Amino acid sequence: MIPNNGMRLMPLLTILCLMLLASSSCLAQTSPPKSAAASQKEKTLTMHAKGPFDVKLAPQTSPDLPQDVLSRMSIDKQFHGDLEGTSKGEMLIGGTDVKGSAGYVAMEQVTGKLNGRSGSFILQHSATMNRGVPQLSITVVPDSGTGQLAGLTGSMNIIITDGKHAYDFEYSLPEAH
C-alpha cells in the first residue's frame, strides 16, 4: 500500500497517470461485426483528427474509497484542431507501493465539432503501468455518438511533448448524406 500522507498521494498518482499517457499507444480500433447487407448499405469513412488539448485534473473527495490506495479526479478538457470542443469526465486511480506500478480508468463525454460534424461521444480510458511499462487504451464507447457523430467508432492516442498535450484520433463515421 501507498503510505497515507494526506494530499501527497494526489501528486504521485497524477505523475503516474501523466507517465502512462505520455508513453503509451492505443489498442487497435475495433468495430462490431455487421451483416453483409448492412455493410453494403452503409459506407463509412476512416479518418484522422489531430490537435492540441488542455486538461485540468482536480482531486475529488470520496469518503467511501480507501484513500491510501484509490483516488478520484475530475477531468476537464478543451480540444483544438480537427476536434474543437470540450469534455468532462471522471478518473479512478489505483496505486501500489511498487514504484512504477499503477492503473486508472476514466470516462469522459466529448462535445463539439469533429472535422466540421457536430455532436457528442463518450471516450473510455483503461491504463496500467507495470513497473514502468505502460499500456493505454482510449476508445469510443459503441453507439455513444450523437447528432452528426452518430455511428462514430475509433481510438485515440495522447501525446505529451515538453509538457504540452496533443491527440491523434483515428475514427470512422458513416458518410454524410
Per-residue pLDDT at 56 exceeds 90? yes
| Cell numbers given for 56 | 485540468
- pLDDT digit string, tens, across residues 97-128: 999 999 999 999 999 999 999 999 999 999 99
Whether 57 has a pLDDT exceeding 50, the answer reads yes
pLDDT of residue 70: 92
Asked if residue 15 has pLDDT above 80, the reply is no
Residue 9 confidence (pLDDT) above 60: no
Cell representation of residue 44: 463509412
Nearest to 24 by CA among 125, 119, 107: 125
Q: What is the pTM of this model?
A: 0.77
Split at pLDDT 50, 70, 90, the class of 37 is: very low
Say whether pLDDT at 163 is over 50: yes
* CATH of region 6-27+44-174: 2.40.350.10
Between CA 172 and CA 87, with CA 51 as vertex, the angle to 5 degrees is: 75
Residues 6+ apart with CB under 8 A from 28: 155
- pLDDT tens by residue, 77-92: 999 999 999 999 999 9
Whose cell is 459503441? That residue is: 142
CA quadruple 14, 15, 16, 19: dihedral sign: positive
